[in-house]
A and B are shown apart, each in its own frame.
Chain A
Amino acid sequence: AQKITQTQPGMFVQEKEAVTLDCTYDTSDPSYGLFWYKQPSSGEMIFLIYQGSYDQQNATEGRYSLNFQKARKSANLVISASQLGDSAMYFCAMRELSQGGSEKLVFGKGTKLTVNP
């Protein structure tokens, strides 16, 4: 079974600084995908970034980048130039292929990020 570990229950960062949120994973599948989602206090899940196991380059989306280290099985999220609106829960997830074409997501427990002014 696949597993996602997020070891930082909470993180604090000053506005305009960069922050790294850790994620390690465990899988025996050679082909896999890793996702990061943001969950503000309102509760919706917002997709941020995706990294495929065969992607040659680290994924980037605006201020978000993924530090993908395959040998270490880590997929850390880097947020540059933090903004107050970045305060939220952040979840790392892995796609698990299953019956009938299911692409269910296996989530970590999340990291609560607080951006201080």
Chain B
Amino acid sequence: GAGVSQSPSNKVTEKGKDVELRCDPISGHTALYWYRQRLGQGLEFLIYFQGNSAPDKSGLPSDRFSAERTGESVSTLTIQRTQQEDSAVYLCASSPRVSGYSYNEQFFGPGTRLTVL
């Protein structure tokens, strides 16, 4: 079946502009995560969705970052008034959240590479 998809794959924007990044999770996956990966670094957690609610937003770096999710489907990460330090790869992951399992694997999308000039 189809995996997690993200669009656009690359985005170049000017400082101060707003950007929207899209994630299409695997069908039926109720959990959705956004991560950020700066150059040469590991992934940093941003936000977690269960269905269309976001009970864990603890990783959002500032109020310029927001995200929403439509039901158990598409999620959009919005960055307002972009800054150069926002340049990174933004990855989305979805998970089935099956109870009773020892762990729920997160399936990652290919990421969106954001460059802020």
Most chain B CB neighbours (cut-off 10 Å) among A4, A33, A45, A100: A45
Whole-angstrom CA separation of A35 from B108 in the bound complex: 14
- Chain A residues with Cβ below 8 Å from B91 are 45
Question: Is residue B97 contacting chain A, with contact meaning CB distance below 8 A?
Answer: yes
Q: Are A106 and B45 neighbours in the complex by a CB distance under 8 Å?
A: yes
Question: Is residue B31 contacting chain A, with contact meaning CB distance below 8 A?
Answer: yes
Size of chain A's interface in residues, with CB distance under 8 A? 27
A-B contact count (CB 8 A): 77
Interface segment out of the listed B17-25, B51-59, B69-77: B51-59
Whole-angstrom CA separation of A44 from B44 in the bound complex: 15
Most chain A CB neighbours (cut-off 10 Å) among B33, B50, B56: B56
Q: Which residue of the partner chain A has the closest CB to B106?
A: A105
Q: Are A103 and B31 neighbours in the complex by a CB distance under 8 Å?
A: yes
Q: Are A100 and B43 neighbours in the complex by a CB distance under 8 Å?
A: no
- Chain B residues with Cβ below 8 Å from A47 are 105-107
Question: Is residue B95 contacting chain A, with contact meaning CB distance below 8 A?
Answer: yes
Least distance between A52 CB and chain B CB atoms (Å): 5
Least distance between A23 CB and chain B CB atoms (Å): 11
Within 8 A of B (CB), among A7-30: none
Q: Are A99 and B106 neighbours in the complex by a CB distance under 8 Å?
A: no
Q: Which residue of the partner chain B has the closest CB to A6?
A: B42
Q: Are A45 and B108 neighbours in the complex by a CB distance under 8 Å?
A: yes
Within 8 A of B (CB), among A77-117: 91, 93, 95, 98-110
Least distance between A77 CB and chain B CB atoms (Å): 15
- Chain A residues with Cβ below 8 Å from B108 are 37, 44-45
Q: Are A100 and B55 neighbours in the complex by a CB distance under 8 Å?
A: yes
**Contact residues of B with A, CB < 8 Å?**
31, 33, 35, 40-45, 48, 50, 53, 55-56, 58-59, 89, 91, 93, 95, 97, 102-111, 113
A-B contact pairs, 8 of them (CB 8 A): A4-B42, A44-B111, A50-B102, A52-B103, A93-B43, A102-B48, A104-B33, A106-B45
For the complex with contacts A45-B43, A47-B105, A95-B103, 12 further pairs of A-B residues with Cβ separation under 8 Å are: A33-B102, A43-B111, A44-B110, A52-B102, A52-B103, A100-B48, A101-B50, A101-B97, A103-B95, A104-B59, A105-B43, A109-B41
